[in-house]
A and B are shown apart, each in its own frame.
Chain A
Amino acid sequence: MQLSGSGIKCVRGGREVFAGLDFAAASGEALAVVGRNGSGKTSLLRLIAGLLVPAGGTIALSGGDAELSLAEQCHYLGHRDALKPALSVAENLAFWADFLGGERFDGAKSLATVGLDHAAHLPAAFLSAGQRRRLSLARLLTIRRPVWLLDEPTTALDAAGLDMFCGLMREHLGRGGMIIAATHIPLGIESRELRIGGAV
Chain B
Amino acid sequence: MTALSALVRRDVRIALRVGGGALIGVLFFLTVVVLMPFAVGPDLALLSRLGPAILWLGALLASLLTLDRLFMADHEDGSLDLITMSRTPLELACAAKALAHWLAAGLPLIVATPVLGLLLNLDMVATGAVALTLLAGTPALTFTGMIGAALAVTLHRGGLLMAVLVLPLSIPVLIFGVAASQAAIIGPMSFGAPFSILCALSLVSLVIGPFAAAASLRHGLD
Contacts and interface: CB of A to CB of B under 8 A. Distances in A.
- A–B interface present (Cβ within 8 A): yes
Interface of A: 12, 49-52, 68, 71-72, 74, 76, 78-87, 91, 94-96, 98-102
Contacts of B166: none
Tell me what chain B mostly uses at the interface: helix, strand, loop, or mixed.
helix
B6 A76 contact: no
A82 B84 CA distance: 12
A83 B5 CA distance: 18
A48 B107 CA distance: 41
Contacts of A100: 3, 82, 86-87
A86 B6 contact: no
Given A49-B85, A71-B85, A100-B86, A82 B10 contact: no
Contact of A78 (B3, B78, B86): B78
Interface residues of B, number: 26
Contact of B18 (A50, A68, A86): A86
Nearest to B78: A80
Nearest to A72: B87
Contacts of A86: 13-14, 17-20
A116 B51 CA distance: 54
A79 B76 CA distance: 11
Interface of B: 2-3, 5-7, 10, 13-14, 17-20, 76-79, 81-88, 221-222
A85 B17 CA distance: 10
B85 A83 contact: no
Contacts of A91: 10, 13
29 contacts: A12-B222, A49-B85, A51-B81, A68-B87, A71-B85, A76-B85, A78-B81, A80-B76, A82-B77, A82-B82, A83-B77, A84-B79, A86-B14, A86-B17, A86-B20, A87-B10, A87-B17, A95-B6, A96-B82, A98-B2, A99-B3, A99-B7, A99-B82, A99-B83, A99-B86, A99-B88, A100-B3, A101-B2, A101-B87
Contacts of B10: 84, 87, 91, 95, 99
Nearest to B6: A98
A87 B82 CA distance: 17
Contacts, number: 81
A76 B78 CA distance: 10
A99 B93 CA distance: 10
Contacts of A50: 84-85
Contacts of A52: 221-222
Nearest to B82: A82
Contacts of B2: 98, 101
Contacts of B7: 95, 99
Q: Which of A78, A83, A84 has the most CB of B within 10 A?
A: A84
Nearest to A67: B87
A94 B10 CA distance: 10
A84 B85 contact: no
**What 3 A-B pairs are tightest by C-beta distance, nearest first?**
A80-B78, A98-B6, A86-B17
A111 B63 CA distance: 38
Instruction: Give the most central of A52, A71, A74: most B CB within 10 Å.
Output: A71
A95 B2 CA distance: 10
A132 B17 CA distance: 20
A42 to B, nearest CB: 11
A86 B77 CA distance: 13
Contacts of B222: 12, 51-52
A49 B81 CA distance: 9
Contacts of B14: 84, 86-87
B81 A76 contact: yes
Contacts of A95: 6-7, 10
Nearest to B218: A53
